[in-house]
Amino acid sequence: MVKGAPGNKGDKTGITRRRFTLGIVIASIVGAFGSLFSLLKVLSPAKEGGGYITTIKPGDRLVFAKGGKVGANIMVSSLNVGDAVLAYPEGKSSNPANLVQLIKLKETDFKPPTDIDLTDKGFVAYSAICTHLGCTVSWVKNKKSPDVSYTECFCHNSIFDPARGAKVMGGPAPIPLSQIGVKVKNDGTVVFTSDFQGPIGPQV
């Protein structure tokens, strides 16, 4: 066939279209993996030296991590029984490993293995980083029966019982969320009194 004839043009156009389509497919796949990586990076705290490093110190005040009061001190009056909030130590919100879930229960609700000495006036706090893959946990409140509310990681549905040391009640999480000590001060603020009592972050 003579070079430049219509048949050749048709062949070249077909090849070009196939290459263009293949390029779009490859770009879409790469983009999808990039988005997934970015999402996992946001959901998971940064690692340092192979572990999750917190900078919480006894005496650090707890402040709101989300909502309209971000950065404001959490007061004893901020939570009712059955409520929970995400909190950071004041001035240390840049480290995701510092994120905790502060919960208010009845003092009579606590059962082993909760460390009662690390609770105060019904307040108890645990790491907010799921021990499965490191997503941030959420609070599921039972409005009719606050004592049966629970903590859940919606990434893979791990469920933790805050009244029993954040014991794993369901899902793939291998160990409980680590408890950390809190205390209500005379001025009504809530402060940390200890470090985490166990490992935090993914344990799989």
- Phi then psi dihedrals of residue 8, to 5 deg: -65, -40
pLDDT at 43: 45
Distance (Å, rounded) from C-alpha 127 to C-alpha 195?
10
Q: What CATH number should be reported for the domain whose range is 62-196?
A: 2.102.10.10
Q: Which of 1-5, 44-48, 74-78, 148-152 has the lowest mean pLDDT?
A: 44-48
pLDDT above 50 for 37 = no
**Domains of the chain, residue spans:** 1-43, 62-196
Residue 137: both structure tokens together? 């946990």
**Taking the mean position of all CA atoms in its chain, how far away is CA 33?**
21
Question: Identity (one letter) of the amino acid at 49?
Answer: G
Distance (Å, rounded) from C-alpha 173 to C-alpha 168?
7
Q: Kindly list the strands in the beta sheet with 158-161, ordered across the sheet, starting from the edge strand earlier in the chain.
A: 138-140, 150-153, 158-161, 167-170
Task: Count CB atoms within 10 A of the CB of residue 94.
Answer: 9
pLDDT above 70 for 65 = yes
pLDDT above 90 for 49 = no
Of residues 132 and 2, the one with the higher pLDDT is 132
Mean pLDDT of the chain, nearest integer: 83
Please compute, for residue 152, the number of CA atoms within 13 A of its CA located in the half-sphere on the CB side: 13
- Three-state DSSP class for residue 145: coil
Please, what sign has the CA dihedral across residues 195, 196, 201, 204?
positive
* pTM of the full structure: 0.74
pLDDT at 172: 96
Percent above pLDDT 70 for the chain: 73
Residue with structure tokens 């901020």? 78
H-type alpha helices, the chain: 6-43
